[in-house]
């Protein structure tokens, strides 16, 4: 199986973000660490120890975690070689609101119905939104993601705190936060596996979020983004309420027919209706006195009225495209159709069977997709881009859609 999504280095939050790593760093013997540690690391570690202990880290935790650690220097290659795929918005949304994520999201809801009902009662956050976050961030907590694409975070954070000059203070703080988590007994160094940037678990918490935003929602005496999804999803709901100002009982927004209306300010749905804006599906707005803003991402494409809860999702990641993909995926999981008005030049999203066929054909043609499970991540996108380049299919944008599949079926 390949990575579930092309995640990014920490830009959204200095909080909940990350990219997916490659080789894991390891804990080694003192002799090996002394031999393997790059020049200057041991001196930095000795100096940093005093700072960590001054922040309340116990000497036992320091020795357990940092006493025999080797920095994972591959994080710097990861930072420099993050894959760049310049997706159009419809490609971005199609890839995240994929057939696999929709069907898997329905199954995740079936298995966790009581949990989502409780979260809606406690926080007012719609289940679709949390399901979509869960699906995009960790493939609904798939253990294969942890096994195949996550690494021990302490060697990574140690390397970044020691030798990443632009944001060293940030990485030092996150390393201390991670040590505090071990100190509290909430996690062990062995189970704290995540992305190269240190994000972990079901909803990809950075240590700061785990420590300061996480809650013990399953009442087992510890806060954890691993294992049962209760803590991760309950805490993410609270995050959306407290930091994102999520409005209980409101939908994120609606696809609309703008009817020539324009304007960037907040108006009530009733005022938008008076201005000629209607829902694309013809239904009435259920809360005419709630407020929204008009957004047309691409001229000639679908238009949307965006309520406060769209921007609550955007607090999780500042990308408008990310927020739209999350909100749309949540709707699709709960049974809504694709956008009614297509984006210019867009293709429909491939079905799960079509994605698997594309991956199988690419692999047979010598382009490794990292698996044929119907999930599209960086490996499949790179394989598609390499195939497009070889076949002269322009633009070679890495998007595996109907055009690529049709060419593969021709045997090209």
Per-residue pLDDT of the chain in tens (412 residues, 90 and over written 9): 333 443 333 333 433 333 322 222 333 333 333 345 688 999 999 999 999 999 999 999 999 999 999 999 999 988 876 656 678 999 999 999 999 999 999 999 999 999 999 999 999 999 999 999 999 999 999 987 877 789 999 999 999 999 998 999 999 999 999 999 999 999 999 999 999 999 999 999 999 999 999 999 999 999 999 999 999 999 999 999 999 999 999 999 999 999 877 777 899 999 999 999 999 999 999 999 999 999 999 999 999 999 999 999 999 999 999 999 999 999 999 999 999 999 999 999 999 999 999 999 999 999 999 999 999 988 999 999 999 999 999 999 999 999 999 999 998 6
Residue 322 falls inside a structural domain: no
- How many of the other CB atoms lie within 10 Å of CB of 242? 12
Residue 69, beta-bridge partner list: 27
127-159 burial by CB neighbour count: b if 16+ within 10 A, else e?
bbbbbbbbbbbbbbbbeebbeebbbbbbbbbbb
Domain enclosing residue 276, as ranges: 253-306
| Angle between helical axes of 41-54 and 59-66 (0-180°, round to 10) | 150
Residue 366 falls inside a structural domain: yes
Q: How many domains is the chain built from?
A: 2
Residue 253, beta-bridge partner list: 306
Residue 87 falls inside a structural domain: no
Residue 38: per-residue pLDDT:
83
Residue 337 falls inside a structural domain: no
Residue 397 falls inside a structural domain: yes
| Spatial separation of the C-alpha atoms in residues 388 and 273, rounded to whole Å | 45
Residue 374 falls inside a structural domain: yes
Residue 267 falls inside a structural domain: yes
Q: 244, 274, 306 — which closes off a domain? A: 306
- Measured between alpha carbons, how far is residue 226 from residues 162, 207, 254, 313 in Å? 27, 13, 33, 22
| Spatial separation of the C-alpha atoms in residues 295 and 293, rounded to whole Å | 6
Q: 285, 306, 327 — which closes off a domain? A: 306
Angle at 105 between CA 102 and CA 111, to 5 degrees: 150
- How many of the other CB atoms lie within 10 Å of CB of 343? 18
Residue 84: per-residue pLDDT:
65
Q: Is 3 left (phi over 0), alpha (psi -120 to 50) or beta?
A: beta
Dihedral angle over CA of 123, 129, 133, 135, nearest 10: 120
Residues ≥6 apart with Cβ < 8 Å to 142: 1, 4
Residue 365 falls inside a structural domain: yes
Check if the beta carbon of residue 401 is closer than 8 Å to that of residue 99: no
Residue 149: per-residue pLDDT:
81
201-229 burial by CB neighbour count: b if 16+ within 10 A, else e?
bbbbbbbbbbbebbeebbeeeebbbbeeb
Q: 272, 306, 340 — which closes off a domain? A: 306
Residue 148: per-residue pLDDT:
78
| Spatial separation of the C-alpha atoms in residues 18 and 199, rounded to whole Å | 6
């Amino acid at each position: 199986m390949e990575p579930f999504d092309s995640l990014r280095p920490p830009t959204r939050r200095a909080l909940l973000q990350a990219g997916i790593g490659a080789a894991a760093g390891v804990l080694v013997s003192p002799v090996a660490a002394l031999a393997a540690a790059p020049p200057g690391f041991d001196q930095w570690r000795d100096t940093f120890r005093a700072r960590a202990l001054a922040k309340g880290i116990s000497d036992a935790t320091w020795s357990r975690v940092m006493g025999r650690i080797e920095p994972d220097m591959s994080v710097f290659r990861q930072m420099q070689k993050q894959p760049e795929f310049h997706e159009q918005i419809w490609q971005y949304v199609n890839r995240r609101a994929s057939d696999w994520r929709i069907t898997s999201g329905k199954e995740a809801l079936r298995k966790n119905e009581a949990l989502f009902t409780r979260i809606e009662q406690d926080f007012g956050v719609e289940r679709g939104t949390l399901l979509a976050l869960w699906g995009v961030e960790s493939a609904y907590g798939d253990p294969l993601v942890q096994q195949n694409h996550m690494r021990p975070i302490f060697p990574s954070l140690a390397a970044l705190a020691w030798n990443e000059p632009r944001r060293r203070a940030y990485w030092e703080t996150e390393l201390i936060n991670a040590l505090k988590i071990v100190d509290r007994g909430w996690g062990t160094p062995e189970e704290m596996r995540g992305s190269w940037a240190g994000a972990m678990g079901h909803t990809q918490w950075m240590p700061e979020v785990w420590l300061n935003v996480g809650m013990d929602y399953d009442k087992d005496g510890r806060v954890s983004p691993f294992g049962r999804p209760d803590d991760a999803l309950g805490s993410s709901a609270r995050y959306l309420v407290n930091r994102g100002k999520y409005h209980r009982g409101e939908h994120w927004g609606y696809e609309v027919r703008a009817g020539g209306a324009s304007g960037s300010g907040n108006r009530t749905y009733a005022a938008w209706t008076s201005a000629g804006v209607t829902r694309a599906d013809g239904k009435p707005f259920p809360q005419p006195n709630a407020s929204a803003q008009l957004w047309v991402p691409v001229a000639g494409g679908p238009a949307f009225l965006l309520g406060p809860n769209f921007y609550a999702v955007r607090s999780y990641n500042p990308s408008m495209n990310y927020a739209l993909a999350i909100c749309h995926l949540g709707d699709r999981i709960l049974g809504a159709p694709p956008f009614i008005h297509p984006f210019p030049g867009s293709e429909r999203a491939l079905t799960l069977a079509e994605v698997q066929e594309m991956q199988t054909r690419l692999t047979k043609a010598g382009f490794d997709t990292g698996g044929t499970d119907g999930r599209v991540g960086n490996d499949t996108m790179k394989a598609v881009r390499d195939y497009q380049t070889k076949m002269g299919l322009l633009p070679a944008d890495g998007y595996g859609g109907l055009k690529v599949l049709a060419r593969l079926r021709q045997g090209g």
